[in-house]
Amino acid sequence: MARIVAGVTSSHVPAIGAAIDNKRTEEPYWKRVFSGFEKSKEWMARIRPDVVIVVYNDHASAFSVELIPTFALGCATEFPPTDEGWGPRPVPVVKGHPELAAHIAQSVILDEFDLTIVNKMTVDHGLTVPLNLVFGSPREWPCPVIPLAVNVVLYPPPTGHRCWMLGRALRKAVESYPEDLRVVVFGTGGMSHQISGPRAGLINSAFDKDFLDNLTRDPEKLVRIPHVEYMREAGAEGIELVMWLIMRGALDDDVEEVYRFYTVPASNTAVGHIILENGKFARRSKQ
C-alpha cells in the first residue's frame, strides 16, 4: 500500500521565489536563507518520494473572492504556474497524480470532509516556492505533486482542529491506496507575519519557536489554538500555520525530527522549516 513517510513544513515567501528567479540567492541577505535548506535538499534526494502532497494557500490566483473553497484538491494531470502580475514564474509545470488524487477525494469525502475537486487549476508561489527550496531548480520536478489548497485568505478560515482532522483523514486515504508509493506531505505558509495595517512587519520569534517545538512533541496543543491567538501573537497572516497541522495530522503520533531551520527576516516574514519522519520509517532507514 501507499504510505506517508515524512512531513515537511516551509514558509512560501514570494520574495524567495523572486530571489531564485533573478539569481540573487548568493547575495548575503538571501544566502542566509537559502543555506538553511541545503541539508533539506540532501535529505529529499535521499528520500526520493514517489508523490508529494503540498498543502498551501492560493493568493487570489486560481481562486478569487467570487469563489473560495475551504479545501480544494487538485486532481488534474498538470498544474501550470500562474501569472501573479509579472508573468508566470520560470519553473516547471507541476505534474499531478490524478489516480491517487481521485482516491484521496473519494476517501476523504466519504469520511465527511467536503473537499472541492479541481480538475483545472494554476498554482502560484504558495506551492512553487516550497518545491524550489527542497528540490532546487530542476528542469522538471522529480515527482508528481498533488496540490491541496486551503482558504486562509478570507474569513472564516478552517480551525486548527479541522485541519488536524483532515490530516488524519488524508493519512487514512493514502494508506488505503493499493499501489506501493512513498508519499511526503508538505505544510506551507507562515510563520509569524503581517503584511498590512498598523502591525505590518510583525514577527514573533518566541511564538514561532514554540510552535516548531510543539509540532514535534505536542501537536495537539497547537490544535487548540484559536484564530484570535494566531492574529494576536503571529499577525494577520500567521493563520497560515493551520496548514502545517494538516501535514502533522497526516503523520503518525511517533515522529522523529530530522532537521529544523528558522531565520528572520526574509522580506517581512519569519522563515520556518522542519522535517519530520514517521518513527517506523526513520528507524528502518537507519538500519
Kindly state the average pLDDT of the residues 50-70: 95
Triad 195, 250, 247: Cα angle to 5°: 15
Active site (annotated) includes residue 97: no
pLDDT per residue as tens digits for the range 193-248: 999 999 999 999 999 999 999 999 999 999 999 999 999 999 999 999 999 999 99
Triad 46, 126, 193: Cα angle to 5°: 110
pLDDT of residue 283: 77
Residue 280 clears pLDDT 90, i.e. is over it: no
Domains of the chain, with CATH numbers? 3-286 (3.40.830.10)
Instruction: Tell me the torsion sign for CA atoms 57, 270, 37, 260.
Output: negative
Question: What is the 3 state secondary structure string of 122-142?
Answer: CECHHHHHHHHHHHCCCCCCC
Triad 82, 274, 61: Cα angle to 5°: 15
Residue 286 clears pLDDT 90, i.e. is over it: no
Whole-number percent of the chain with pLDDT over 70: 100
pLDDT of residue 183: 98
Which of 97, 193, 227, 273 is catalytic? The answer is 193
Triad 37, 11, 209: Cα angle to 5°: 85
Residue 287 clears pLDDT 80, i.e. is over it: no
| 277 bridge partner residues | 6, 256
Triad 24, 30, 34: Cα angle to 5°: 100
Q: Are 231 and 151 in contact (CB under 8 A)?
A: no
38 class by beta-carbon count within 10 Å (0-12 exposed, 13-18 middle, 19+ buried): exposed
Residue 156: is the preceding peptide bond cis (ω within 30°)? yes
CB atoms within 10 A of CB 196: 10
Active site (annotated) includes residue 125: yes
pTM of the complete model? 0.97
Which of 12, 97, 103, 125 is catalytic? The answer is 125
